[in-house]
Amino acid sequence: MTESAPQTELPPPPSEDPSLLGLINTTDHRRIGRMFMVVSTMVLVATLVLEVLVRLDLTSSDGFVVLDESTWAQAYALTRDGFVFLFLVPFFLGLAINVVPLQIGAGRLAFPRAALASFWTWMFGAVALVGAYLANGGPFGGTRLDSEGVDLHLIALGTVITALLLGAITVATTIFSMRAPGLHMDQLPAFSWASLVTAIGLLLSMPVLLANLALLYIDHRYSTRFDFDFLGGNAGIWQHIEWVYRTPQLFLFIVPVLGVIGEILPVTAGRRVVAGAIATAGVGAVGVFGIGAWAQLGGVEGNKVADGWQGIVYLGFIAGAGLGIFIAVMLNIITVAASKRIPKSGPAFSALIASVMVLLAAAVAVAGALLDWLESVNAFDMDPAIALRFTTWNTAAFQLLVLGAGAAGALAAHTWWAPIICGRKTMAGPGFLAALAIGAGAIVAALGSVLAGIVSGQPGGPFTNSIYSGLEDPSEAFNTIAALGTILVAAGAAVMLLNVVVSIFLKKGPEAGDNPWEAFTPEWESEMGLPALASGTPLLDAREEQEVGV
């Protein structure tokens, strides 16, 4: 008779310095994740304030309302940097650093000091990036006298991206190598799977952006004539990096929101998601089709990348990502509908808002790509004669994905995992109010942008015209609608941040039990590493076994 080896318990995590100084040398993945989440939420609010100013300037075709022609284009570019690389990607990276090790039974993160280095490098790069814009170094800024600001912008943006890639490596490595025995890849909890898909997608696509930045830096730094740089000088920077701020690449950045939805809605229904394997495949498809580095306006194909018969590939990628979103989200919604339960919790309401936003964004993106392609093969004539991907129609997809789904997903994550992250719930009332404001505001903003794009052909950004002289009179009313929607989103995000501060940091939120949501996944069972897992939903497994036994 053979004896089974006794299971050894993992050692407790090392004690942490509770002071602010401890933030510099902590190896606690939960603390590192919190730092990413809190700072990026603050950046979201600040960037939304700047976005409001950008939108207000578009409400008049006679001139600028708040900013001026020397700052508007740079403010526009800074909002895109802020929304994507200072909020959306780092927030959900921080959430993954915090939650994923607990979800897979690891109890700790692979390379915790690399994760800490990721945060502080990201912070340093973010400060330098904002400083570069203040020094007139952003896209469409800079002259021969202040060209150092342009160089700083390229270096700072590269630093931010490198830091995020380092964090993505720690998350992917943790999932690949530190899962509890018995937990297979196809059994990962929804958010862990979405985090892995996102990390792999970032590692495949962001090095292309880093290469672009390196080429731009060399061209700008060492060109003999500033105004005739081979790649377009400072005014040409935008066309080489703008692909990360539109679909299909934006779909990759929103994949973690699908994971948040997949965590919350099945718990609301009290059952497993319908056709869970298909939902998992849908999330994976979004990651595959969300790699958009090849769709650069400044690339080999230029502005023709979505035109003619080669545009079938462009349309196929956007349609593939849209189909993946539709499958993943709708299966979760069907699960809730089949349970006949009305979502009453704050996280469930926020997750539903995020679901609606991401579905609308996919519809807008697919419709725009389809109309552009049909027009390019002479199926019909567009009036005005400008491709929708160059108009505010494309801005509407950004607003729905980032301002809508991204912010609502962050709100759902804050409220759902607050008991684990901080030991308290956030207050329910402000959470509902924030979700409603974010959802309604994003829809209103996107509606104004869609109308401005398809009716008046308003350009979606400065591109090579930094004074934005392409604004048409009929678009004033539509831009006013978009500005009002953006103000509403900003108000909702401010309420979200205030709720986190008051509930968590000021400890006004209700104390949470071990599993206040009756969730299924391992992080609600133990903060320590688990000796083994048979699935990614052990608490639901135990509940079903009890029901069968009864």
In this predicted structure, the answer to whether residue 317 has a pLDDT above a threshold of 50 is yes
Note the pLDDT of residue 5: 38
Least confident of 40-49, 212-221, 472-481: 472-481
Instruction: State the Cα angle at 197 between 39 and 537, rounded to 5°.
Output: 90
Q: Which residues pair with 452 in a beta bridge?
A: none
Please state, in angstroms and rounded to a whole number, the distance separating the CA atoms of residues 458 and 478.
10
Q: Name the pLDDT band for 7 (thresholds 50, 70, 90).
A: very low
Please state, in angstroms and rounded to a whole number, the distance separating the CA atoms of residues 74 and 367.
29
Residue 364 belongs to what H/E stretch? Answer: helix 346-376
In this predicted structure, the answer to whether residue 192 has a pLDDT above a threshold of 90 is yes
Contacts (Cβ under 8 Å, ≥6 apart) of 375: 381, 382, 387
Structure tokens at 369: 């790509």
Of the ranges 63-67, 496-500, 509-513, the best mean pLDDT one: 496-500
In this predicted structure, the answer to whether residue 33 has a pLDDT above a threshold of 60 is yes
Scan for tokens 């404001």, then name that residue. 437
Higher pLDDT, 365 or 22: 365
In this predicted structure, the answer to whether residue 453 has a pLDDT above a threshold of 70 is yes
Structure tokens at 269: 């229904």
Scan for tokens 């590493």, then name that residue. 529
Average pLDDT rounded to a whole number, residues 329-338: 94
Burial class (CB in 10 A: 0-12, 13-18, 19+), 3: exposed
Least confident of 249-258, 274-283, 429-438, 524-533: 524-533
Secondary structure (3-state) at 5: coil
Please state, in angstroms and rounded to a whole number, the distance separating the CA atoms of residues 119 and 115.
6
Q: Name the pLDDT band for 8 (thresholds 50, 70, 90).
A: very low
In this predicted structure, the answer to whether residue 184 has a pLDDT above a threshold of 90 is no
Least confident of 196-210, 497-511, 527-541: 527-541
Of the ranges 1-15, 55-69, 375-389, 458-472, the best mean pLDDT one: 55-69
What count of residues does the chain have?
550
Say if CB 330 and CB 262 are below 8 A apart. Answer: no
Average pLDDT rounded to a whole number, residues 493-499: 95
Please state, in angstroms and rounded to a whole number, the distance separating the CA atoms of residues 354 and 340.
20
Note the pLDDT of residue 17: 64
DSSP assignment of 26-67 equals: ---HHHHHHHHHHHHHHHHHHHHHHHHHHHHGGG-SSS-SSS
What would the pLDDT profile of 152-170 be if each residue is shown by its tens digit?
999 999 999 999 999 999 9
Residue 221 DSSP class: H
- Ramachandran assignment for 509, one of left (phi > 0), alpha (psi -120 to 50 degrees), beta (any other): beta
Please state, in angstroms and rounded to a whole number, the distance separating the CA atoms of residues 483 and 53.
8
Secondary structure (3-state) at 380: coil
Please state, in angstroms and rounded to a whole number, the distance separating the CA atoms of residues 129 and 155.
8
Q: Which residues pair with 424 in a beta bridge?
A: 511
Please state, in angstroms and rounded to a whole number, the distance separating the CA atoms of residues 158 and 212.
10
Say if CB 315 and CB 270 are below 8 A apart. Answer: no
DSSP assignment of 294-343 equals: T--TTSSSGGGGGSTTTHHHHHHHHHHHHHHHHHHHHHHHHHHHHHTPPP
Least confident of 19-28, 36-45, 465-474: 465-474
Neighbouring C-beta atoms of residue 260, cutoff 10 Å: 28
Note the pLDDT of residue 182: 82
Buried-exposed string 317-353: b where 16+ CB fall within 10 A, e elsewhere: bbbbbbbbbbbbbbbbbbbbeeeeeebebbbbbbbbb
Percentage of residues in the chain having pLDDT higher than 70: 81
Higher pLDDT, 406 or 7: 406
What would the pLDDT profile of 73-107 be if each residue is shown by its tens digit?
889 999 999 999 999 999 999 999 999 999 998 87
Whole-model pTM: value is: 0.90
Q: Name the pLDDT band for 445 (thresholds 50, 70, 90).
A: very high
Q: Name the pLDDT band for 382 (thresholds 50, 70, 90).
A: low
In this predicted structure, the answer to whether residue 198 has a pLDDT above a threshold of 60 is yes
C-alpha dihedral sign at 496, 499, 505, 511: negative
What would the pLDDT profile of 289-314 be if each residue is shown by its tens digit?
999 888 776 554 445 666 666 778 88
Q: Name the pLDDT band for 144 (thresholds 50, 70, 90).
A: low
Say if CB 527 and CB 107 are below 8 A apart. Answer: yes
Note the pLDDT of residue 2: 37
User: DSSP alpha helices (H): ranges in 178-254?
Assistant: 190-222, 237-241, 249-253
Averaged confidence pLDDT in the chain: 84
Say if CB 126 and CB 40 are below 8 A apart. Answer: no
Q: Among 216, 236, 238, which residue's Cα sits nearest to residue 152?
A: 216
Please state, in angstroms and rounded to a whole number, the distance separating the CA atoms of residues 345 and 366.
32
In this predicted structure, the answer to whether residue 65 has a pLDDT above a threshold of 70 is yes
Could you check whether the bond before residue 13 is cis, i.e. omega within 30 degrees of 0? no
* CATH code, residues 28-549: 1.20.210.10
Note the pLDDT of residue 190: 93
CA torsion, points 526, 532, 538, 543, in degrees to nearest 10?
-100
Least confident of 34-48, 86-100, 174-188, 530-544: 530-544
Note the pLDDT of residue 342: 83
Say if CB 401 and CB 358 are below 8 A apart. Answer: yes
Residue 523 belongs to what H/E stretch? Answer: none
Average pLDDT rounded to a whole number, residues 135-142: 82
In this predicted structure, the answer to whether residue 531 has a pLDDT above a threshold of 60 is no
Q: Name the pLDDT band for 4 (thresholds 50, 70, 90).
A: very low
Secondary structure (3-state) at 230: coil
